[in-house]
Amino acid sequence: MTPAGVQEAVDAAFRGEWGRVLATLIRRTGDWDLAEECAQEAFAEALRRWPLDGVPERPGAWLSTVAGNRAIDRLRRRVRERELMDAVGREQMTESGAGEVISEPPEESGEIPDDRLRLIFTCCHPALPMEGRVALTLRTLAGLTTAEISRAFLVPEATMAKRLTRTKAKIAAAGIPYRVPPAHLLPERLAGVLAVLYLMFNEGYSASSGPDLIRAGLCGEAIRLARGLRQLMPQEPEVTGALALMLLHHARLDGRVGAEGELIPLEEQDRGRWDAGEIGEGLSLLDGALRRRAVGPYQLQAAIAACHARAARAADTDWREIAGLYALLERLMPSPVVLLNRAVAVAMSGDVEAGLALVDELSAGGRLERYHLLEATRADLLRRRGDHPAAAAAYERALGLAPSSAERLYLLRRLREVRDAEQP
């Protein structure tokens, strides 16, 4: 086999097997750092051995065995060192020997959950800091290096390394169990896992242009993790819903930023640039999930994204349906941002006045003060009503609050348009 061919096989094994090898090793040793080191050594060993011996038939099993043997060697060495220390009169160590540590514990039930499920539920445990959950999921399940994660989150590598260390330390010190949560905790904990994946996706999505391409890679990782989770939990419609949601958004990734890096609003996007393959997959996943008749926030958000994806032209969008879906979503997770989106849908379905009334209601509540999209939405609705001076004033307020240059460029364009419209 050519060196390039072997490198390719190892890369493929890394993408496909890293999470599984590591997850099993953590279960068997209970030691996250040891497991990570041994998994890395197994992949290094593959690079040395596969050119000579050929790529094994089941690369994953080969890697797991090699990594497991490394772990046994290291644990035995630790025990021997302890025995030596005992021999020179240091205090007695009572921990069990390597043979016991590494032995496969019998499963409690007949069902054997994939170790990757244990791993993702542990990484996304609510007692861990949110930033740590995202980083540890990317490190352990997606196999990103600390350097890659630190670049994706725009922090120094040392900061990210410390974040990972602290998160792992808390798992051990606080006694966070390495398991799939029991049935009564599952809905809540699964929502927590999906929140981590969706946050990862949005982190990439909100920065998906030009110099931020590394961050855009987060979208791909989040989708890959969601695919993996769906394979492991095919019966959970919210998992499928979350995957469908990400695919439907991801399909529009290329169409939403213009040549200057400015954000292109949905209604002006060239729909030919949307990824038809991803849309098709997203729509069919969503249909499958909805048929299980256990609707949740991710399925509803995916259904809204599907309304946009199905419309061949912006004018064909079924805004009445979207407004109805937002109303349902508001019931499941009441939030001012959801209400703001409903206001847009209501206005777009023909009732601009009712949409503006909802926006006024929101600003009277004061909960979205300093949120640029509140003013941007008000401005857009005023523009649609033809109230250009008021629209211009709202665009100006939104500009003062907008966090990214892509959004500022879009708002500036709109501001110019309404000002021009004012000129006689």
Partner 1 sequence: MNYLLFICSGGDYSADDVELLQRECPRWVEEMDGRGVRLLGRQLDDPETAVTVRVRDGETLLSDGPFAESKEFVAGFDVLRCQDLDEAIEVAAKHPVSWFREIEIRPFREGLEVGEEALAFGRGEDAGADPYCLMLCLDGIPAAPEVEESVMREGRAWSEDLRARGVQVLAHPLQHKDAATTVRVRGGETLVSDGPFVETKEFIGGIAFIRCAGRQAAIEIAAAHPLARHHMVEVRPFLTE
Query: Site residues (CB under 8 A) for partner 1?
Result: 125-129, 132, 166, 169-170, 173-177, 181, 185, 188
Structure tokens that stand for 310 in this block: 């199905």
Residue whose token pair is 């980083």: 135
**Closer residue to partner 1, CB minimum distance, 132 or 296:** 132
Q: Which residues is 263 bridged to in the sheet?
A: 257
The answer to whether 384 touches 352, Cβ cutoff 8 Å, is yes
| Least distance to partner 1, CB of residue 180, Å | 12
**Backbone φ and ψ of 110, nearest 5°:** -65, -30
Find all residues with CB under 8 Å of 191, minimum gap 6, and list them. Answer: 238
Compute the least distance from the CB of residue 33 to partner 1, in Å.
Answer: 17
The residue (of 78 and 166) whose beta carbon lies closer to partner 1 is 166
CB of 26 to partner 1, least distance (A): 15
Using the minimum distance from each CB to partner 1, give the nearer residue, 133 or 139. 133
CB of 421 to partner 1, least distance (A): 48
Distance, in Å, from the CA atom of 305 to the CA atom of 56, rounded to the nearest integer, reads 43
Identity of the residue numbered 418: V
Q: Least CB distance from residue 175 to partner 1, whole Å? A: 4
No. of helices (H) and no. of strands (E), the chain = 19, 0
Shortest Cβ 231–partner 1 spacing (Å): 25
Q: Which is nearer to partner 1, 188 or 316 (CB)?
A: 188
CA distance 351 to 181: 46
Q: How far is the CB of 272 from partner 1 (least distance, A)?
A: 45
Least CB distance from residue 160 to partner 1, whole Å? Answer: 16
Number of neighbouring beta carbons within 10 Å of residue 397 = 15
- The nearer residue to partner 1, 165 or 202, going by C-beta atoms, is 165
Nearer to partner 1, 85 or 276 (CB): 85
Structure tokens at 387: 């109230």
Residue whose token pair is 């609705």 = 381
Residue 88 to residue 90: CA distance in whole angstroms:
6
Measured from the CB atom, the residue of 178 and 371 that comes closer to partner 1 is 178
DSSP symbols for 200-221: HHHHHHTT-SGGGHHHHHHHHH
What distances in angstroms separate CA 270 from CA 124, 259, 267, 314, one per listed residue? 37, 13, 9, 10
Of 91 and 107, nearer to partner 1 (C-beta) is 91
